[in-house]
Structure 1
Amino acid sequence: MICLVTLGIFGRGVFDRHFFNTRMTVIPNVMNLNEKEAIKYLKEAGLKVKVIHSKTEKVPLNVVHNQDPRPGKKVKVNRVIKIWVNNGQNQVVPNIIGLELLEARSKLKGQNIQIETIDYYPSNQKYNTILGVYPKPGTKLEINQKISILVSSQQMIDPSVMPNIVGLDLNDARELAKQVGINIQNVSYTSDQTLPLNTIISTNPAAGARIQRGQNVSVVINTASRARRRQTTEEIINRSKNDINKNGIEKAIDDTINKIDNSNSGNNNSTNNPTNSGNDGNSGDNPSQGNNSDSQQSEDDSGE
């Protein structure tokens, strides 16, 4: 019975301390203290400690450079306090080549290594695969030093087939050739008014031909601008239709009526002209011959 009573009293005390703990304490300031001293002060305040080792240039070796929660805060006893201690160890670049980008970033984050730049490069590797890292794997990083990684992009061009660079200017063509691995070495010039100025109009090898990496390619550049081309009859008609749609049907009708009135007025003047009555009999047999000639000439002018 005595044992049971003693166990009950002791057990109640433990239960109260863990589940109904109302005792409070103030977190001491352990910043810039040695690791062992910081742990000692925190435990004397009734707190638990979790030590996280990391590298920093803010404090000397084995000294606390951060704590959470912040000092001066009032908390319950047995609260876990995190402290960050400078261990002075350099971080080493892990070997992430061949990993998928998401996996590589997760691995780097777990080691507190930050990425400065991500560059993409066409490759036969799977999309978003790590092709390279700088500094190279195994390198010890300086304080706060970041790394750069090279990632595979989708292969856009078949490196064994000559791409179609006709119509490009020389600078754009060189960039495209660089991706395939060929060199534009021989450049010649010609004049072709049917093609745009300063663009490639032919290549050797031609587009679609089999090529090898490092192969030299010849291109011909156009030095003439397109000549002004005369409009065809069909284009003139289509333009007239567009004008009708643009200016409106009513205006087109008014213009047509005016043209008809002017034409009739001209015919009447020709009929009343006294010089026409003085023509010989042949003219009388074909009175419209002169008018037909004038009409034909008018149509020719209009066609031009």
Structure 2
Amino acid sequence: MPARRATRAAVLVAALLAVALFIAACGGPTVPDVVGKNPAEAVRILQDAGYTLGNVSYGSVSNLPLGAVGKTIPAAGEKLREGNPVDIQINAHDGANAIVPNVIQQTLVTAQTAVEQSSLTPIISYQYIDTVEKDIVITQSPTGGNKAGVGAPVILVVSAGPAPAQTSMPDVAGKTEADAVKAVEGANLKPAVYDTFSDTVAKGKVIASIPEAGTKLAPGTTVQVVVSQGKGVGAVKVPAVTGKKEADATKAITNAGLKPTVFRQSSTTVASGVVMNQFPTANSTAAAGSGVAIVVSTGKPATTTSAIPNVTGMQQAQAEASLTGAGFAVETLPAATDGPIGVIYQFPAAGTQAAPGTPVLIIINSGKASGDSGSNVQQTPPAETPPAETPPAEVPSEEDTTKP
């Protein structure tokens, strides 16, 4: 009798276990079907079902509207414990058109992948910014969710991290040309040698630098190293032009049978447009046709910020003139999309307060059909070589305390 009871108990346990396994196989949470829905609605449905959003990728699925969810991983109906992530793939292109993905605040690698998966062409521009980590997308154009032709460019403005610290112009007066060049390069500046005559400085020695020693500059700025060629041989006397206006100075030099070369730098003491210094010095002798360098003041260095003008909708030349006239540098990138020709985007945005010399990116639309634009787009330098933000050529600053 006890043996029969034990057998019946074992059979009952086995039966209950089989029923439990059957119920488990038939029940349990499954991934909801969100294919064909827009991403925002799909995410809400997944979250309501107890799941989190996993990776988002982009691809092409026929018979679905652009921008809709094309598939999920795991697929709809598959069992998945609550709390687990579900990846979604968005139908981003159909062979002719594509949906621009939203990649702001994503890493550059992730953003590039998303744009390329959408059959679009990523174009990268770098901006120094203290508040955003390096290689994070700051902004994009077109913005996410817009439709563009397959292959069309998507401009990604990426943080290059904080602007590099400024460097100082070394004192090179009296050094040999070789030593002066070495000192300038050691300060992370680019030397450009200007040869001139001097009655007082021996041949091969540096007379002065432009700008003067101690001036704060952005790394990579080109500076002039003025090197003596010894006393000039000839009957031409160099006119005294220091203190004259630029136009009067260049006229006097030309009338003397010499060739003027103009350099510029800021000054706290000399008015804008007035000659601060000259090489060779006044009354030196020089050969007819030789050069005379003059340093013209650009006035006091700017220390305040100003609003970036709105150039969207302008033609390229007008936009560049507006920005440079307001004291900003200009970076341009081409685009080829349907729509009006001219500036279709600018960064930083109009009205942003920025220091003089800050580069402003403008995107110029050529007006070509968007579907044909991909082959004409070129990518800017990679992250490890962001564009140097330096003052305009031949405009070294005497007391520049601003950052780009």
TM-score by length of structure 1 reads 0.31
Which protein shows a greater Rg? Answer: 1
Which has the bigger relative contact order, CA under 8 A and spacing at least 6? 2
